[in-house]
Structure 1
Amino acid sequence: MAMSAGTFSESETHVIITYTQDDGTTERLDTEDLSALEAAAIEEAMDDVPWRVIESRLQVQDPTALRAILWAFRRRTEPGLKFREFDVPGWRRRVRARITREEISDALTNIMREALAKSEDSMIDAVTPHLRKLAEDPDDVDAVLDGLGKGHLTRRAKESAG
């Protein structure tokens, strides 16, 4: 399911990139830790793609966007590393973009505002599986729903009703 442009707040989306290394350990990279120069270098390396577009491409696990984030962090220790030469073998199983609880809260709050205006929960219900998939911790989705007074839409509520 694609998320609507208004789902996430207009501010930058906080994205966590996880990379499983050859030895099985997981490296966690946070886009908030990028400097302005690193973000600009990513935009330039991706043919002047604006940062907001890069963030949306991360949300759909775009391989070029994922590779660009890894490349920017690698350049900290390997300054001469060229983007066009940087590869991530097995990227589908090794690299993931995830969102934080704060992003989940922002998204569900925005959806809830829209849903309340229409007196319906279907919008929230429709997006929660996608948010669980994107979430760094899928249980954060239920915690945010509980906090918004929508506990009846949580996974455990649905399981106990079924």
Structure 2
Amino acid sequence: MIISFTQDDGTVEQLSTDDLSAREAAAIEEAMGGAQWQRIEALLQLQDPTALRAVVWAFRRREQKDLAFDDFDIPGWRRRLKARISRDEIEDALTNLMAKALSSKSEDTQIDLLTPHLRTLAADPADVDAALDGLGKGHLVRHRQDSAA
């Protein structure tokens, strides 16, 4: 997940959960009441303010070792914080979907249902098309563009 944090001066800081250490991830889990990392990722996708704040807090603790989670806040969080998925996460989601759908022979239909959601969550919506191309499913992108015309 990529957390975009708009600073007071308007600059945008990108924080990737891929850059967290295992200890930092564990600290986020603890700060979130013992939630497992998969749950935190799901909450990030839902733009949960506590999960978003926890990730930024973990990065801020690198410079401020004694920064307590309960004391850390982000005023205006709704306009300043956004969680988006990376291309690797898009590829993982599509690969997992294809593996499950192969047995039902409905992979194209299921991918068609998932791609609008992936585009909404993607840090770069073009990554969805690139991931589809990489999986040999680029025809789904062209099909959607043809039907929209």
Q: What's the TM-score, normalizing by structure 1?
A: 0.84
Partner of 2:38: 52
5+ long unaligned stretches in structure 2: none
Structure-2 separation of matches of 1:125 and 1:21: 36
2:56 corresponds to 1:77: no
Structure 1 match to 2:96: 110
Tell me how far apart the structure 2 counterparts of residues 116 and 36 of structure 1 sit (CA, whole Å). 34
Q: Do the aligned partners of 1:115 and 1:122 also contact (CA within 8 Å) in 2? A: no
Segments of 5+ residues of structure 1 without an aligned counterpart are: 1-14
- Measure how far apart 1:160 and its partner are: 2.4
How far is the alpha carbon of 1:69 from its aligned partner?
0.4
Q: Which moved more, 1:18-27 or 1:93-102?
A: 93-102
> Which whole-Å CA distance do the structure 2 matches of 1:35 and 1:145 have between them?
30
Report the Cα distance in structure 2 between the residues aligned to 1:67 and 1:58, rounded to whole angstroms: 10
Q: Which moved more, 1:106-115 or 1:69-78?
A: 106-115
| % identity of equivalent residues | 63
Is 1:137 paired with 2:124? Answer: yes
Letter in 2 for 1:134: L
RMSD over aligned Cα, in angstroms? Answer: 1.4
The structural deviation recorded for 1:116 is 2.6
Letter in 2 for 1:158: R
Deviations 1:75-103 (A, max 9, x none): 11122221112111111121111111111
2:7 aligned residue: 21
Bigger drift between 114-123 and 68-77 goes to 114-123
Q: Deviations along 1:96-123, whole A, 9 cap, x unmatched?
A: 1111111111111111222332222221
Tell me what 1:152 maps to.
139
Q: Counterparts of 1:48 and 1:87 in 2: how far apart (Å)?
A: 20
How many residue pairs were aligned? 147
- Calculate the TM-score normalised by the size of structure 2: 0.90
Letter in 2 for 1:149: G
SS at match of 1:118: coil
Aligned 8 A contact 1:99 1:134 in 2: yes
Q: CA deviation at 1:134?
A: 1.1
Q: Which amino acid aligns with 1:99?
A: I
